[in-house]
Every structure is written in C-alpha cells, then in structure tokens.
Amino acid sequence: MKITGVSSNDYLCIHSDSKKIVAKNTVSEKQDRLEISTVGKSLSSYSTDGSFGVSEEKLQGIRRQVSDGTYNRDSKLVAQKLIDLMKGRTI
C-alpha cells in the first residue's frame, strides 16, 4: 500500500500563484500632470488685474493694426524686452 501526504511543493505553487494575482491588482493607472514653471509664476505676479498697464485706446489701436495687417514690431526688440523684464531689469 502506498500512502502519500501533502507535499510542500503543492503548497508553494499555490502560494506563489496568489502573490501574482495581488501584484496585478496593485498596478496604478498613469495620470497626466500640469506644472507651471517658476518663470510662468513670476510673470503672473506682474499684474493681478490682467490690465498690464495698457490703456484701452492703445489696445484698440493695436487690434485695428493687426486686423488691417499693418501691425509690425521688431521681434528681436520684443524678445530682448521680455528677457529684461524677467531678469528684473527696467525697460
């Protein structure tokens, strides 16, 4: 007569299978993130009311020039003034 007991290998196989299932359930989903850079945050501090010190008449004049196609500015000068503003230099 042959009598076999419960082998430890059977127990280990069942135990390792349950670990695999738990590991699959703990995977988190990826999420998108949006961060504002320090430069962006510093730019927002220049004006809290959104006006940026521009008069309505001047703004309407610029809008009219843009719609007519006559608005022209030196891009290098604009870029230099933006850099000066960010570095804290006066314009």
For 83, the enclosing helix (H) or strand (E) is: helix 75-86
More confident residue, 21 or 43: 43
Check residue 69 and give its pLDDT. 87
Task: Mark residue 31 as left, alpha or beta (left: phi above 0; alpha: psi -120 to 50; beta: remaining).
Answer: beta
Q: How does residue 76 score in pLDDT terms, banded at 50, 70 and 90?
A: very high
What's at 41, amino acid-wise?
K
Q: Please check the confidence at residue 20 and state whether its pLDDT lies above 60.
A: no
Return the residue matching tokens 């990826």.
30
Q: Residue 60: name the closest of 48, 71, 47, 76 by CA.
A: 71
- Kindly tell me if the per-residue pLDDT of 24 is higher than 60: no
